[in-house]
Structure 1
Amino acid sequence: MLGAALALLCGCTGEPPAPPSPTSTTTTAPPTPVKGLSGIPATGIGVTALLPTTGPTLFDADRGATASPPGYPGGLGVVRVGKQAVLTAYPVGTADEAPYEMFAYTGPSTPPRSLGRAWSVAPGADQQSVWLIRQDAPDSCRLQHVSLTGAAVGELGHGQSASCRTQVRAETPHGLLITINSGSAESTDALIDPQTGRTVRQYPRILGATGDWLLLDGFTDLSLLNLRDGSTKPLTRPASGGGPPIVVPSRDGYVFAVDFVNPSYRGPVQTRDIWLLSLNTRTWEHAPGMPFITDHLKQGGGIDWSADGDLVLSDGVLAAWHPGEPQWRLGKATLPDGEWNGIAVLP
């Protein structure tokens, strides 16, 4: 069993199991996208997000940039970890193919806390730690657990050997979601026990994980896997013209925000189409004003949840929508230009 576990982390797997057979398909044509995100201008929507600009920007939806935390190199990405965040950047003076520099965000006016270099980062289930694929030598990587609390970064054990092409994505109470051979045609997804590397579940495509649930991508439809009892429930894929979605679980773990993005809708046009999936009822809710044509999918886009249960979207401005509301609430301040992507809503 240990040998199989190490083989999984090192990216050497057998044929993955076939995804669940779909029981239904949708024939409804997706709606035609509208130009731009629609909503109502709002005052004081109460959203502040960390943007991975060069250097990072703490951005208030209504007032604009409020701070540029010192000591960070050029931005590349950001991951929210509970009420904290980790920023990813290319190391200064090195080639793009080098491992990234990881920094724990420590506040608007204090220098960052370095986590060292790693190929990928994922939030821990406790929302106070992260998992890293750490490179120790030119051809040697390991999976490591790192605490973000306390006076200094704490490495929770040395970790275990892993392929540098393994991407860590999210930890649940049932295991750590990873992508094996990330970036290749042979990539596959798995939920593993991070302490031993044992495979808990493995599928060609796991779109999201939270709590007791995995969202699986089949050939035509989606399905939900309940990790408590192993049951799988089929889902009809929403009538969306988007491609593989970006999936972000709500902070309470009961809802998936599913952003069907299409970077080449009818040529160079980019579109977004956001749906919510209730994990308790397995029902879909279409966000208002969807789908829409955007200029910010590849630059300046992002999606996250606030502590109040609002879905927050960055697309020219920061916009907030509480499930059930008829419209998005649009912030007044225009987001900065530049080659950044992703947001972390704080706290």
Structure 2
Amino acid sequence: MQLLLSTSPPTLFDADTGAKGTVPGVPGGDRLVWVQRVGHTPVVQTSPQCQADTCAPADVYAYTGPGTAPVSLGQAFSVAPGADGDSVWVIRQDSPGNCRLQHVSLAGSALGPGTVASCRTGVRQETSHGLLITVDNGTAETVDVLIDPATGRSVEQDPRILAATGDRLILGGLTDLTVVDLRDGGRAKVAPPVVQSTPYVLPNRDGSLAAVDFGTPAWHSTDIQTRDLWLLDLHDLTWQQAPSMPYTTSHLKSSGLDWSPDGDLLLDDGVVAAWHPGEPAWRLGAAKIPDAQQFPGVSTS
């Protein structure tokens, strides 16, 4: 298994041999770096260090594999995977204070002229039912909306949409989660197995399961960080705890999760671990992950 880690510049890392390399053509230095998977392609965002209200748009690249130069997708304040796995949605700056929502192929071409949007809009994920965005991101008026990107029509709106996948949305509440079926509007409340008001939710690639991390950076108001991974079956709404959970970690904010093409849940936390739902234990990579990772890595093969 290879990962693309969000160091500056991004690091290609082999989980078993420890071999490392960098992505050519992506700037390094004192920069913020994010990596996310779009279909089978890692997309990198990199920008200078900044304060939240003074951040410049990030440079965006699609990494198509060893031996090839990354494809520049221009600059954007926010980037989200397209539902087709071959494109992204971006918030592009036209001039200071003026932005637009645009659909861009991973080859770098614009798919239409785009529409006017606030520069504070955060794009998150496209499904067959619409594009999940966060409006007024980072303000007290923040709200999550699933929109039809062609018309701007609101399909669903909630203060906290934790994830969108396939035909479903997962909403966060004070004491429970709600799974919305977008086909018929049905809603089902789900009691979480752990008290945690802001879990991190990551659906798998076919939308049948969601990994839910109930970890906390301050366990019982201490400086102890914990991770507690559970799986929510999105068909029957039952829970399954991953093996060896919960555990303490010093990498909660800099480690990440991803799902592999064959349905393994991947965790990078010092080393790379893989677990297929139903297996009794995690499989551990042999090599230690390099230090200085800023944000989660993603699988590249």
TM-score (norm 1): 0.82
Deviation at 1:68, TM superposition (A): 1.5
**Which whole-Å CA distance do the structure 2 matches of 1:70 and 1:92 have between them?**
21
Q: Deviations over 1:168-201 (max 9, x none)?
A: 0000100000111111222111100011111000
User: Within the alignment, does 1:118 sit opposite 2:76 as a pair?
Assistant: yes
2:67 is aligned to 109
Which one of the candidate residues 270, 295, 313 is aligned to 2:267?
Answer: 313
**Which whole-Å CA distance do the structure 2 matches of 1:297 and 1:93 have between them?**
22
Q: Deviations over 1:13-46 (max 9, x none)?
A: xxxxxxxxxxxxxxxxxxxxxxxxxxxxxxxxxx
- Residues 196 and 162 of structure 1: is their aligned pair in 2 closer, same or farther, counting only changes over 3 Å? same
Deviation at 1:238, TM superposition (A): 1.5
Amino acid at match of 2:37: R
Deviation at 1:57, TM superposition (A): 1.4
Deviation at 1:49, TM superposition (A): 1.2
Amino acid at match of 1:127: G
Deviation at 1:286, TM superposition (A): 0.6
**Which has the higher relative contact order, 1 or 2, with Cα contacts under 8 A spaced 6 or more apart?**
1
Q: Which runs of 5+ in 2 are unaligned?
A: none
- Residues 261 and 92 of structure 1: is their aligned pair in 2 closer, same or farther, counting only changes over 3 Å? closer
Deviation at 1:91, TM superposition (A): 4.8
- Residues 203 and 325 of structure 1: is their aligned pair in 2 closer, same or farther, counting only changes over 3 Å? same
Amino acid at match of 1:181: D
User: Within the alignment, does 1:171 sit opposite 2:126 as a pair?
Assistant: yes
User: Within the alignment, does 1:146 sit opposite 2:104 as a pair?
Assistant: yes
How many residues matched? 296
User: Within the alignment, does 1:295 sit opposite 2:250 as a pair?
Assistant: yes
Deviation at 1:94, TM superposition (A): 11
TM-score (norm 2): 0.94
Conservation of the 8 A alpha-carbon contact between 2:175 and 2:197: no
Structure showing the higher strand proportion among its residues: 2
User: Within the alignment, does 1:180 sit opposite 2:135 as a pair?
Assistant: yes
Alignment of 1:61-100 (within 5 A): 61-74=15-28, 76-91=33-48, 97-100=55-58
- Residues 55 and 65 of structure 1: is their aligned pair in 2 closer, same or farther, counting only changes over 3 Å? farther
| Other structure's SS at 2:262 match | coil
Conservation of the 8 A alpha-carbon contact between 1:189 and 1:202: yes
Cα RMSD, aligned residues only: 1.8
Alignment of 1:153-302 (within 5 A): 153-240=108-195, 242-265=196-219, 266-299=221-254, 301-302=255-256
Amino acid at match of 1:318: V
| Other structure's SS at 1:71 match | coil
Conservation of the 8 A alpha-carbon contact between 1:189 and 1:206: yes
Max Rg structure = 1
Bigger mean CA offset, 176-185 vs 258-267: 258-267
Deviation at 1:109, TM superposition (A): 2.9
| Other structure's SS at 2:24 match | coil
**Which whole-Å CA distance do the structure 1 matches of 2:138 and 2:119 have between them?**
11
| Other structure's SS at 1:63 match | coil
Amino-acid identity (%): 56
Bigger mean CA offset, 80-89 vs 67-76: 67-76
1:128 is aligned to 86
Deviation at 1:296, TM superposition (A): 0.7
Amino acid at match of 1:89: T
**Which whole-Å CA distance do the structure 1 matches of 2:5 and 2:197 have between them?**
25
Deviation at 1:289, TM superposition (A): 1.0
Bigger mean CA offset, 62-71 vs 276-285: 62-71
Deviation at 1:275, TM superposition (A): 0.8
